[in-house]
Structure 1
């Protein structure tokens, strides 16, 4: 055998080649699908990050504007002389108050995107409100809303909500108009700014013109929508949103220092945009390439690999001795069909040349097997005739009748066996019949125990007279007047191999005989034909099973002999 470095060189078979080609094509197809999928997700992630960047820009813009107004309120209330004069002197209080009001009118030019600004001094219960934006939202048309916003300005300054409202942005529902307030306090005076959330959205954030943003708005920290006409709640930690059977990509950006978040809905189909057509094309191409791959492999299997595999299988069958094998249908490419036809012609010629010699050898084997089966019967019948004669001489008619009936069963079984194998059930019943005869013949106690003889094992075929031969051997050499003869039969079936064990309570095999049995598989018979039964059984097993059978003779550690027979199920 030729060896490669490091071991034996692998021999490739047709199936291995087929699997190798299929594996390579499958790997290439999977790589194509993987690259396409990764590309899709990369584009999806890039689009999402781009849109998230737009939201981040809008949030940063709002945060910057909020910080500006916060700083403005702080500096104005602390440093502006007009507010200081209003705090520090009661002289000309009305004139100072008018100057503060005119000063507040000018703030609108700095912060036109807010709704308005207000000043409140609780010691004199003076509230000045200057509004320069969202006039229609808080005008006299909405009297209830206008009155409610003035009341809310005071309660946020001195009411129970003062602690959370001073120096922090708060959002209040003013007659179904969500409004944000920021109030700064200094030495008994409150200066605050307010703006409607719709105004924040339209004038500061302003994402209406961004491509792909179908719906956008502000929500509170619980996800409740504060802008627009719809009442709905979003999960701020979620990235998907379903509405009216449509699926949206939900982008969320929380605003630092402001109790609200920006939420934008982007239709999934619109998010993918035009590259969805490219992805659909890739999917179609992948499916077509997969179908072509399957077609290619099936074609190779049909025209090349399957015919060659069938030819290889038939050649193995022929080499195992099945001379009737041939390829019934010539398929595949032209070369394979010619090769298969040549194989059929060759097997036919070999079959014609060997069939006569094969049948002759088979006939000789069957003749020898039948000879072995009936070889021991005359010896047994002579013994039984001798027993019947002895019983007749003693006038024991009842026992003669009983032993004759048992002998009839025995002879019927022996004469009815024409096949080299019988079910184990029949062999066991025949062994019981033999023991009944021996119990009549010998007035000693004989007990037989059985283990492992299940219904499945009982249907397994064994050579006839197999168990009976070794049980007879136990009766012949282990039976005594003083002790009860105990015979134990055990059956075990595993991995298509039947193992039978026959043991007795007698003196066991002589050492010389035990060594001869285990080494040569036979035992020498004396002039009277002793031990011919064991030789007969082993010869029949060799003829039936070839080298696949096994046996082992041994003496048990306590007492008695044991025979182990190993019978494969393939004859």
Structure 2
């Protein structure tokens, strides 16, 4: 290679063998069949001519991009134009040199794949343990609570600090909700008990005044035997009325109270009132709410009994099955004129009857008490019998023990 420089009228020139310039490239490992060389811009080799000719490597494809050449395209040709001369520096790298490190790369890839295969189950296990299981326990607890099991709590188990905090907060919240619900429930029970006592203690002032008037009239005619009987009946009547601490009594006690009430009314309406009660022996120890039967009988006496025509009241008590459960069925029927159509419509719509003074009548009192005691498990129906008379049917769940 020659390079000439002009300085004024003087020319300076230098030449050097191209092989000398290739000495630094001999330190680069191009493989057994590879090497570096100089080539003209037309693609003619200036050094390593035998390497180019033997392998038929084309050097005129341009040095802008890498390309494959040779007999079997088994050389990677990499070149760079010289900035000082009209030649290119070209490197011929055989494919076996490029691929000689491939087994190591394959081993690295295999190792990475194996590591991923091992770490994937471990990652899934950690994901399940730290996230999925705590979430599943939380969801199971919430489903049980939605089903009404407010005592449900999430057990303590090893997990992340975040889920430990969530579980503790959840348990504390449910404890407070359960305690609040118990307090509200107890308060409601207390209010219901107070209302039951108040309803049971409601005494008809007209009945009380009429009873005193009967005693007074008997005293005027000096009928002391009837006065004693009337006084005893009134004493037993009010003793039963004031048993306000009881929500249930035995059926035989309720029937005895009803008979006692009948006796008082017979003294008030002599010859105008008769009564008949049919109750099987096995039911007399069944528990029923107090003042239920007597209240309906009292309502019948109040609205059906007149001095013009005798009234007969019959009560039939038996056991029926309602929705697969045994219930006590009480049917009260009289021979009076029956319910007025307007009143019957109100009763059949489960609406309350109110007196002219704005007070609820005894039927509403009983309905309210039964709703408090049985919720929707009680049934009360009102109708007019054939050919006459009012019919009241009460169906209550059986309580054999209290």
* TM superposition score normalised by structure 1: 0.39
Within the alignment, does 1:489 sit opposite 2:319 as a pair?
A: no
CA contact (8 A) 2:200 2:244 kept: no
Q: Alignment partner of 1:566: what SS?
A: strand
Q: Alignment partner of 1:375: what SS?
A: coil
CA contact (8 A) 2:269 2:307 kept: no
Within the alignment, does 1:459 sit opposite 2:285 as a pair?
A: yes
Within the alignment, does 1:476 sit opposite 2:305 as a pair?
A: no
Aligned partner of 1:551 in structure 2 is: 380
Within the alignment, does 1:444 sit opposite 2:262 as a pair?
A: no
Q: Cα–Cα, structure 1 residues 311 and 460, in superposed 2: closer, same or farther, change >3 Å?
A: farther
Shift of the alpha carbon at 1:377?
Answer: 4.6
Q: Can you give the 5+ residue segments of structure 1 that lack an aligned partner in the other structure?
A: 1-309
Aligned partner of 1:564 in structure 2 is: 393
Q: Structure 2 CA distance, aligned partners of 1:473 and 1:366? A: 24
Q: Structure 2 CA distance, aligned partners of 1:463 and 1:526? A: 28
1:393 to 192, 217, 220: 220
Q: Structure 2 CA distance, aligned partners of 1:424 and 1:313? A: 43
Q: Structure 2 CA distance, aligned partners of 1:566 and 1:455? A: 18
CA contact (8 A) 2:378 2:397 kept: yes
Q: Structure 2 CA distance, aligned partners of 1:425 and 1:434? A: 14
CA contact (8 A) 2:234 2:264 kept: yes
Q: Cα–Cα, structure 1 residues 349 and 514, in superposed 2: closer, same or farther, change >3 Å?
A: same
Provide the aligned length of Structure 1 versus Structure 2.
Answer: 254
Within the alignment, does 1:504 sit opposite 2:334 as a pair?
A: yes
Matches within 5 A, 1:426-445: 426-445=253-272
Q: Deviations for 1:468-527, whole angstroms, at most 9, x for unmatched residues?
A: 111112222222345432111112322232221100011111111111111133212123
Shift of the alpha carbon at 1:350?
Answer: 1.9
Matches within 5 A, 1:375-394: 375-394=202-221
Q: Structure 2 CA distance, aligned partners of 1:479 and 1:362? A: 39
CA contact (8 A) 2:201 2:244 kept: no
Aligned partner of 1:517 in structure 2 is: 347
Q: Alignment partner of 1:509: what SS?
A: coil
Q: Cα–Cα, structure 1 residues 434 and 334, in superposed 2: closer, same or farther, change >3 Å?
A: farther
Q: Structure 2 CA distance, aligned partners of 1:499 and 1:317? A: 33
Q: Cα–Cα, structure 1 residues 354 and 441, in superposed 2: closer, same or farther, change >3 Å?
A: same
Aligned partner of 1:169 in structure 2 is: none
Q: Structure 1 CA distance, aligned partners of 2:144 and 2:204? A: 44
Q: Deviations for 1:98-139, whole angstroms, at most 9, x for unmatched residues?
A: xxxxxxxxxxxxxxxxxxxxxxxxxxxxxxxxxxxxxxxxxx
Q: Deviations for 1:199-256, whole angstroms, at most 9, x for unmatched residues?
A: xxxxxxxxxxxxxxxxxxxxxxxxxxxxxxxxxxxxxxxxxxxxxxxxxxxxxxxxxx
Q: Can you give the 5+ residue segments of structure 2 that lack an aligned partner in the other structure?
A: 1-139
Pairwise CA RMSD: 3.6
Matches within 5 A, 1:164-183: none
Aligned partner of 2:135 in structure 1 is: none
Q: Cα–Cα, structure 1 residues 352 and 481, in superposed 2: closer, same or farther, change >3 Å?
A: closer
Aligned partner of 1:425 in structure 2 is: 252
2:177 to 319, 333, 350: 350
Shift of the alpha carbon at 1:559?
Answer: 1.4
Q: Cα–Cα, structure 1 residues 498 and 442, in superposed 2: closer, same or farther, change >3 Å?
A: same
Q: Structure 2 CA distance, aligned partners of 1:317 and 1:413? A: 42
Within the alignment, does 1:526 sit opposite 2:353 as a pair?
A: no
Shift of the alpha carbon at 1:564?
Answer: 1.0
Aligned partner of 1:119 in structure 2 is: none
Shift of the alpha carbon at 1:567?
Answer: 1.9
Q: Cα–Cα, structure 1 residues 519 and 388, in superposed 2: closer, same or farther, change >3 Å?
A: same
Q: Structure 1 CA distance, aligned partners of 2:253 and 2:168? A: 48
Task: Return the structure number with greater helix share.
Answer: 1
Shift of the alpha carbon at 1:565?
Answer: 1.4
CA contact (8 A) 1:521 1:538 kept: no
Shift of the alpha carbon at 1:413?
Answer: 1.3
* TM superposition score normalised by structure 2: 0.55
Shift of the alpha carbon at 1:406?
Answer: 0.9
Q: Structure 1 CA distance, aligned partners of 2:328 and 2:142? A: 32
Q: Structure 1 CA distance, aligned partners of 2:168 and 2:396? A: 40
Shift of the alpha carbon at 1:313?
Answer: 11
CA contact (8 A) 2:250 2:287 kept: yes
Matches within 5 A, 1:199-278: none
